[in-house]
Structures are given as C-alpha cells and as structure tokens.
Amino acid sequence: MKAPKTPVLYATLFLLLTAVACSSPEDSASAPETDTPPPRLQALHVEMRDGVRIAIDVWTPEGLQPGATVPALMRMTRYWRAEDVVAADGGDVTADSNYEQADRINGAGYAYVVVDARGTGASFGTRDYEITEDEVRDYGEIVDWIVAQPWSNGRVGSVGVSYEGTTAEMLAVNRNPAVRAVAPLYPDFNPFDHLVYPGGVFLEFFTDEWGQLVFMMDNDDICGLTGSTAEAACAEMKQQSRGVKPVDADTDRSLLAAAVEDHAANYKVAEAYRSLEFRDDPLGTGPRNVDRLSTPSWKKQEIEGSRAAIFSRVGWLDAATAAGALSRFNTFSNPQRVVIGALSHGGNFDTDPFRPADAPPDPSADEQFASLIAFFDPLLKGEVEPAPVSSEIRYVTLGSGEWRSTPVWPPEGFDDRTFYLGANGHLDPEPPGAAGSDSYSVDYTATTGTANRWHTNIDGSDVVYPDRREEDRKLLTYTSAPLQRDTVVTGQPMITLYVRSATDDAAFFAYLETVAADGRVTYVTEGQLRAVSRKPASVEAPYWHAGPYRTFRRADARPMPIGEIEEITFELWPTSVQVPAGHRIRVALAGADAGNFARYPKSGEPAQWTIERSAEYSSKIVLPMREE
C-alpha cells in the first residue's frame, strides 16, 4: 500500500473528520457545575463497564460560558483519533492534527468528541474483528458520559467517513434517546457483500493493503506508516510526529505503551480475511465468522428502534457505497436524507468519467460541510421535538451534472429496456433470430487499473478510468447501434448470461460502457459474480436488494457443471448516467481484474466459457432508461 503522507488516514483529513476527546466516567458522571469555562481541548480516558479504558478527545467551543450548553458531534475511529504532532513550542493546541476541523465544527456551535476504538490508538483492549458488539457498546457509554457534562445540552449526533461512517451509524444500535441524528458518509453498509467479497469475488488487494495499514497503526508504527523505515528517515520523522497522541495525563507515555501492548493480541486482518472463501467460514483461527457480524445491514431492528434521522453521502464510483445507501433507504424506516454524487471516497475528488479528470468536486468541501450542519441543527439544537425529517434521495446524473430528487428508489419515469447479446459483437434491441455462441478464454492480464472505484475506498484517491478501448480487446464485447437521442440510464442494470463452462469455477465481470463516435470507450459501472455462488438464496434478504439475493455461504455453493448451460443473473452496481446521442452502449465481459480481484479458478488452466445466444437462451442486459 502506498503510505499516506501523514499517519492520519485520509478520512481524518476530510473536512469533517478530525479529533476531539472524552474523559473517565468516575471523573465525570456527576460533573459539577462550575464557574470556569471548559478547556478548549481535553484528551482523557473513559473507563468502560469491563474496565477497558477508551481514549477520547473533547473540543468545546472557545469561550463557552459557564451554564451555556451545546450539542456534541461524535466521530469514532480505528485510525487514531489524533496524531501527536510535534509543536514548535512543545504544547500549542493549534499544532494538534485536528485543530482546523475541530475549529470549524466548534464554530458551528457543537462540541466535537473523537474516540479511539477499543484496541486501537491510545485506547486499551483488543480486537477479534471489526466493529465488535463491545465496541458498539463502548460508544453508547461515551454518549452517557457526554450528556452528563455541564456543557452538554443532552443531544448527540455522529459523523464519519468510511469505517467511521459505519461506526456513526452503529451508534444508533444502542438506542440511546440522546442520539437523534447520525451521518454515515461513504460507509460500507455490508462490508462482505459490498467491499471485501462483492459478488462473492475476493477483492484481494484491499484486504492486503488495509490489513497492513491498520496493523501499523495499531502498533503505533509512525515510520512504517510514512514509509520512513530507514534509521535516519525514521529519526527525522519522529522529529515531526510521535505517532498516536496519548491522553493528557500520560506525560511519560507509559499508558500509551501499555495500550499498544494490548493491541499486539489483535487479530491479523489480512490473514483472517484470506482464510475466508465464503461468508460462513471461520474468520482466521477464531470461532467467529463474518455472518451476521455487527454491521448495519444486520441491525435493522435496533437502528429502526433508535428513531434517529440518517444523513448519508456516497459516490456512484466509490466501491458499492451507493448500493449500500439505497439498500438502507429501502429497508430502514428511519427518516433518511441520501446524497449520491460523482464523488471519490471521502468526497475530495470529482469522479464523473465524462468530465475532465481535474474537475472540482460537486458539491464542494464547503457545501458538503454546510449541508451536514443544516441536517444536524434542527435535530440537535432548537425545539425539543423538531419537525420530522422527510426522506429523500438527491443524486447527480453522470455526463450531465444535473442533480435530481426522488422520494422513492428506483425513481419513477424509467422503463426497463432489454438489449440482447447478439452475433458479431452486436448489442441488439431484438432477441436473436438464430442460435449462436461466443467462446472466451479468460485473459488474466485484463484490469481496470488502480485508479478505480475499489482503490478509492482504501485511500480516498481520485477515480480516473482511462479510455477502455485497448483493454476491451482482451474482453468479450457487445456494442449497440448509435443512440438517436440523449438517453439517461438510472438504476441497477441487470445482466443474464447463459453459459457453458469448461471449469467448475470462474468469475464473471460485466462492464457497462459507452463508445463515442471517435472510438473512445468510457467506463460507467460494473458487476461481478463468482460462478459457484450463482444460486439465488431460498431465504429472504436481510435488506433490500436490487437483484437475486445470494447468501455466499459455503453450504449454498455449487460447482459449475462442465459443458452444461447454466443461467447466471446478477446486477451491476447502481448508476445514473446520460449517454449522448450518437454514442453507443457496450457490455464488456471479463473473467478477471488483475491487481484487484483474486483469480478464479485459483490455479491451473485459464477459465474458458461460452455465451449462448438463441431464442431459448437469450443472454441479455436490462437497462432502466429514459430518452431526454
């Protein structure tokens, strides 16, 4: 993994996400009234029900007068709540790595509380997996601590990007009445289905790179994180940063050393997830698996019971975060505001493939911050019983830049239109008149590169797919006639393949692309499915799902029968795109994405399969479309 320029993960550099901390319950549960304004910044340990001490920073608005109260925004992270930047004078609060963002949030009238998750940063404890039940309970106890403070108005919201977006949402699981609003930004609603194993296909690079990152962070390895591993470079780095910030009382850093020693017992992320093949396999060497782990997609009852309003911002080309936001919207009864933009993970880059690569993000950083505060203000300030939040999705259409709103998903006004995989690489509006087939031997050098939707989810980088025409020469492609009018596709395309396979396992990747008059091929979206997990589930999905629901459990896996026709239907990740008149629509099929996903089959000869085309076996893609 390319190390970040500072040890603080990209999410902490995002305009909203910086540090604040808390203190210990025995010190504060009955915090007395005082005539002294609270300190601007405190870094403290809060002791949990089982004695584990959790590190938190608390930033309160400067000059907050005794007796005045404010709501709090929480951010809960496993990426260090704050970096111990070495200030020139040894103690200037403005040198804190979170100062700029805390200043902005305080200026909006909120206290800002940032938490090191159990088993990370300056917190004690260990981690058996991510976002454990104990971790979620910790956050609820910190809410109790917050509302007991003399500066608190008794109302708390949560905000975060990525992992921190998931913890922001999971705070609602505690159903604490003080938590009225949560803002999960760019979260992975179901990390197994939407990130680590989308379509049951192992996103290999992500697990390796993310596992390396969090291993170094949990061990407070500032030199490893910044790539300063040579002795001289490491010494120079430590003149700028000591790594994770200790709590204020830890003047000799002995508490931090003891906490880091606890972290040595943390599970090893890369090893654990590489040991998986299916959802119900043991996670590493422990007895647990990822089936029904503590993630939002499995917590419908608890999150609905909180009645907290939810604000979620995601990107069309940020892994599968848009799919997760739409699943949440159609599953949970909580009032929800969803924003889907042409945004990278964290919102720092524009990702519209039809705009220049250096186009500024829309909305801008200032606008993103303002919309969040506008969401929180009526819920955490003002009236005791604020007006209810009306549920709505705002989304941008790629290629046009036009923002649209809808109270339902899929939005009204789009009709499913079927295109058939035809002879000679044509994508036809009519089913094939004569039987035929197209054989393909998987090219394992085919790739979508490293500036794609999956890489942004680990480092917040820009998403820039190059012209795909050369890469498409490695794939099996089907291209339509030029469109007569500008056409908008909005929703989740659905592809059905009738396949004869020469191997008992394979991966299928389907790319939706456009082809301009000059031949340039532009990536729009994709979907993938591992062949052995093709069988639709006989049980109901735990959350709304656009296509056939699959459990991805070992018990439901079925090897591909050699030489027999099998029907494989799966959805592509959701999109909204305007295809200009004169452009053509292309479906490109692959069996690999080198440098990103694992190889299937794992070894041996390349997978070979044949796409059938006939009246009985009509391989096709269904697109929700509307002519403009």
263 in catalytic set: no
Tokens found for residue 529: 């499915």
What burial class does residue 378 get, using C-beta atoms within 10 Å of its C-beta: 0-12 exposed, 13-18 middle, 19+ buried?
middle
Q: What is the pLDDT of residues 468-526, one digit of tens each?
A: 999 999 999 999 999 999 999 999 999 999 999 999 999 999 999 999 999 999 999 99
Q: Tokens 């004169």, residue? A: 582
Contact between residue 19 and residue 102 where contact means Cβ atoms under 8 Å apart: yes
Tokens found for residue 459: 């480092």
Q: Identify the CA nearest to 313 among candidates 377, 367, 386.
A: 367
| Alpha-carbon 332 to chain mean position | 18
Contact between residue 322 and residue 315 where contact means Cβ atoms under 8 Å apart: yes
Q: What is the pLDDT of residues 540-550, one digit of tens each?
A: 999 999 999 99
Contact between residue 511 and residue 479 where contact means Cβ atoms under 8 Å apart: no
Report DSSP state, residue 463: -
Q: For 468-538, where are the alpha helices, taking DSSP H only?
A: 469-472
Residue 285 has a pLDDT of: 67
pLDDT band for 37, please (50, 70, 90 cuts): confident
162 in catalytic set: yes
Same topology for domains 10-185+220-263 and 415-627, yes or no? Answer: no
Q: Find the catalytic residue in 24, 158, 162, 327.
A: 162
Query: Higher model confidence: residue 20 or residue 595?
Result: 595
Q: Is 578 helix (H, G, I), strand (E, B) or coil?
A: strand
| Residue 386: how many other CB atoms lie within 10 Å | 15
Q: 269 pairs with which residues across the strands? A: none
Residue 27 has a pLDDT of: 37
Average pLDDT over residues 443-451: 98
Q: Distance between CA atoms of 84 and 87, rounded to whole angstroms?
A: 9
Q: Find the catalytic residue in 194, 345, 455, 583.
A: 345
Fold classification of 10-185+220-263 is Rossmann fold (3.40.50)
Q: Find the catalytic residue in 57, 84, 138, 318.
A: 318
User: What residues does each domain of the chain span?
Assistant: 10-185+220-263, 415-627
Q: 114 pairs with which residues across the strands? A: 57, 75
Residue 12 has a pLDDT of: 34
Q: What is the pLDDT of residues 2-32, one digit of tens each?
A: 333 343 333 333 333 332 233 333 333 334 4
Q: Distance between CA atoms of 384 and 382, rounded to whole angstroms?
A: 7
Q: Is 277 helix (H, G, I), strand (E, B) or coil?
A: coil
24 in catalytic set: no
Q: Distance between CA atoms of 298 and 327, rounded to whole angstroms?
A: 12
Q: Identify the CA nearest to 573 among candidates 523, 538, 620.
A: 523
Residue 115 has a pLDDT of: 98
Averaged confidence pLDDT in the chain = 91
Q: What is the CATH number of domain 415-627?
A: 2.60.120.260
Q: 584 pairs with which residues across the strands? A: 515
Q: 350 pairs with which residues across the strands? A: 343
Residue 86 has a pLDDT of: 79
Q: Distance between CA atoms of 527 and 509, rounded to whole angstroms?
A: 6
Q: Distance between CA atoms of 292 and 193, rounded to whole angstroms?
A: 12
* Res 289 pLDDT > 90: no
Q: Tokens 């659905």, residue? A: 494
Using a CB cutoff of 8 Å and minimum separation of 24, what contacts does 556-561 make?
557/278, 557/532, 557/533, 558/532, 558/534, 559/504, 559/505, 559/532, 560/499, 560/501, 560/503, 560/504, 560/505, 560/506, 560/531, 560/532, 560/534, 561/501, 561/504
* Res 533 pLDDT > 90: yes
Q: What is the pLDDT of residues 367-410, one digit of tens each?
A: 999 999 999 999 999 766 777 889 999 999 999 999 999 999 99
Distance of CA 331 to CAs 243, 409, 613, 620, Å? 41, 11, 37, 29
Average pLDDT over residues 552-569: 96
Q: Omega before 606 cis (within 30°)?
A: no
